[in-house]
Chains A and B, each alone.
Chain A
């Protein structure tokens, strides 16, 4: 299925942030270079920034708490930003949010840019504010995010446990964009990571074109809800914007 050649790749060091707009039909592969990575991610419709990734809608329509292959990431408008077409990890968190300045300072100590230059301790919340600001987004526009490569499991009592061994070196996840999408991302630590030192895990990003989505596509058919989600998204592509990025 993933036959397109990689047309762009980039290394993002740990504790950094970036953003990109991916047209429908693009596949973004995230690779955990050394193991133990965390990639915070948010999604917006670039033509209507009020349409954004919605964690409750994504989880409840697929009856899942974790994200893995077959799952679709929904906007608040019943459409699919991207679907997870491959995943060597098996569990990605989307319920724990971000590190912020206070959390980083308390757990690992604040390293200022003045003193530490590129080794300063950035946090996920500020990273999203910076990347979002490039597109006119601010505090009111942030929402619950994905934390790729991170696992937090839930006991019967509701208690949360962070799994430090969830993702190993070379692990990857492939996101196929089903509509044109603005992607904000950071590589700051997961907010429940108990590591003694500020974790600084790099990732590699690869971009390629996907094969057309077939009627028997795995993500589309993984649940009846996703068939309807794909129908909503296809209607939007046909009516509101031009089709797959050609």
Chain B
């Protein structure tokens, strides 16, 4: 399902471009709305969320999918924590479907998926690890790197139980917008993957916008 945002970009309190292959880590306060823009189209935003007050409580793909009885994320989807609480909710979405089964790329999984000699290529997990090392006041580490959301990515599941990485359903300027239901640490890797169509073999920038609760 698609729904346009009611928020004006000029009213945002924060704007930041994340180049491909880089990360963004930020505390979004309860009630704030944040938008992730697929600036040039077909770019995967590998996203993790943690409860800021207790980061051992974090985004859970299995609880989120099971609670909504659906494997795809879109408007209305509540991003549930490992404790069953809502971390954030999708309030606007001009794409209509996002993946949360496909995980983040890593050097090691690249060796399995593509070739053993791909082991040194850049990956989302490398960005995550650097983000946590450079922001160690969050006290997060590899131990906390759980399964993520892939905004703008299209991973259809078939009735026979198959899974494929299809060409993106996103496009230039499309976005997804989330309202924080509690204070959350948001960690995004702007995916550097060069080996599959999730980024159309051409990783491009994302942009983040944040609005305060009383802005419209």
Contact = CB atoms under 8 A, between A and B. Distances in A.
Interface string A64-86: 11100000001011110000000
Contacts of B115: 228
A102 B80 CA distance: 14
B117 to A, nearest CB: 10
21 contacts: A50-B142, A50-B143, A55-B103, A55-B147, A59-B101, A61-B109, A64-B161, A65-B161, A65-B162, A66-B161, A74-B109, A78-B109, A100-B84, A140-B143, A144-B62, A144-B147, A153-B161, A226-B112, A228-B111, A228-B112, A232-B111
Contacts of A154: 71, 157-159, 161
A191 B67 CA distance: 10
Given A65-B161, A95-B101, 17 more contacts: A55-B103, A56-B104, A59-B101, A61-B109, A65-B101, A78-B109, A79-B108, A98-B62, A144-B147, A154-B159, A157-B70, A158-B70, A158-B157, A159-B70, A192-B66, A228-B111, A232-B112
A96 B147 contact: no
A214 interface: no
A145 B82 CA distance: 13
A81 to B, nearest CB: 13
Contacts, number: 132
B65 A54 contact: no
A63 interface: yes
Given A65-B158, A138-B56, A140-B143, A191 B66 contact: yes
B146 interface: yes
B137 interface: no
Contacts of B163: 59-60, 63-65
A11 interface: no
Interface in B22-66: 56-57, 60-63, 65-66
A97 B142 contact: no
Contact of B116 (A59, A100, A157, A228): A228
B71 A61 contact: no
Nearest to A74: B112
A80 to B, nearest CB: 9
A56 B82 contact: no
B161 A56 contact: no
A56 B62 contact: no
Interface of B: 56-57, 60-63, 65-66, 69-72, 82, 84, 97, 101-104, 106-113, 115-116, 125, 142-147, 155, 157-159, 161-165
B164 A78 contact: no
Contact of A160 (B61, B69, B97, B102): B69
A34 B55 CA distance: 41
Interface string A180-193: 00000000000110
A13 interface: no
A228 B113 CA distance: 8
Contact of A57 (B72, B97, B103, B158): B103
Query: Which of B63, B102, B108, B112 has its CB near the most chain A CB atoms (within 10 A)?
Result: B112
Interface residues of A, number: 49
Interface of A: 50, 54-57, 59-61, 63-66, 74, 76-79, 91, 95-98, 100, 102-103, 138-145, 153-160, 191-192, 225-226, 228-229, 231-232
A155 B159 contact: yes
B113 A91 contact: no
A229 B107 CA distance: 13
A143 B72 contact: no
Contact of B103 (A50, A56, A153, A228): A56
B162 A102 contact: no
Nearest to A157: B70
A66 B160 CA distance: 9
B108 A76 contact: yes
A100, A103, A139: which has the most chain B beta carbons within 10 Å?
Answer: A139
A136 to B, nearest CB: 11
B103 A54 contact: yes
Contacts of A153: 159, 161
Contacts of B116: 228, 231-232
Contacts of B112: 57, 61, 74, 78, 225-226, 228-229, 232
